[in-house]
């Protein structure tokens, strides 16, 4: 028995907070844009968290960074990812894995998503080696302590981080100091 042909116009959803967008995210998005007909960067809106950048700012940043890539779209979502993916008619969820420590959580989420929507596949992608240690939380912490983030985030993000340092905003403190 042969596998059914994939639908034309395969859409992948890459969900996350992207607060801020890192070069690890950029790497995954670019490679996803080559693998799928379209990749939708789905910016999570979580009212319980105080992000560094608003959802509108994060969408604007992603749009600007990927303005030359017509198959990269950006949107916001809240609630269940599988419901969002179903509404968008996506067939794939893209998730990044940086280290073994990410795997257990991501594996559980992928199995739950499969339980909720069996037709939705999860594809795990590793970022380029030089970005495997990066996280948005780490970028915010390093920047807030005066560290250099050049080469770890797109230049637009670095400029926006500098602009936010002119007007103090709360930084999430998930973890110890660097």
Evaluate whether 60 touches 28 at the Cβ level (below 8 Å): no
Q: Is 165 a catalytic residue?
A: no
Annotated catalytic residue: which of 17, 91, 136, 144? 136
Annotated catalytic residue: which of 98, 114, 135, 137? 98
Please give the angle made by the CA atoms of 92, 98 and 102, to the nearest 5 degrees.
Answer: 80
Annotated catalytic residue: which of 49, 63, 162, 169? 49
CA 22, chain centre distance (Å): 9
Strand partners, 49: none
Q: Is 34 a catalytic residue?
A: no
Q: Is 49 a catalytic residue?
A: yes
Q: Is 25 a catalytic residue?
A: yes
Annotated catalytic residue: which of 25, 95, 140, 160? 25
- Active-site residues: which are they? 25, 49, 98, 136
């Amino acid at each position: 028995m042969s596998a059914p042909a994939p639908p034309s116009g395969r859409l992948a959803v890459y969900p996350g907070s992207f607060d801020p967008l890192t070069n690890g995210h950029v790497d995954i998005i670019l490679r996803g844009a080559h693998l799928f007909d379209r990749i939708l960067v789905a910016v999570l809106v979580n009212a319980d968290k105080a992000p560094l950048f608003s959802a509108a700012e994060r969408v604007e940043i992603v749009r600007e960074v990927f303005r030359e890539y017509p198959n990269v779209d950006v949107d916001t979502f809240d609630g269940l990812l599988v419901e969002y993916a179903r509404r968008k008619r996506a067939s794939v969820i893209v998730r990044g894995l940086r280290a073994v420590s990410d795997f257990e959580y991501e594996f559980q989420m992928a199995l739950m998503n499969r339980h909720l929507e069996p037709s939705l596949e999860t594809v795990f992608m590793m970022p380029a080696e030089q970005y495997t240690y990066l996280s948005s939380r780490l970028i915010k912490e390093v920047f807030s302590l005066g560290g250099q983030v050049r080469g770890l985030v797109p230049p637009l993000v670095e400029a926006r981080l500098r602009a936010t340092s002119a007007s103090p905003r709360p930084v999430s403190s998930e973890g110890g100091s660097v």
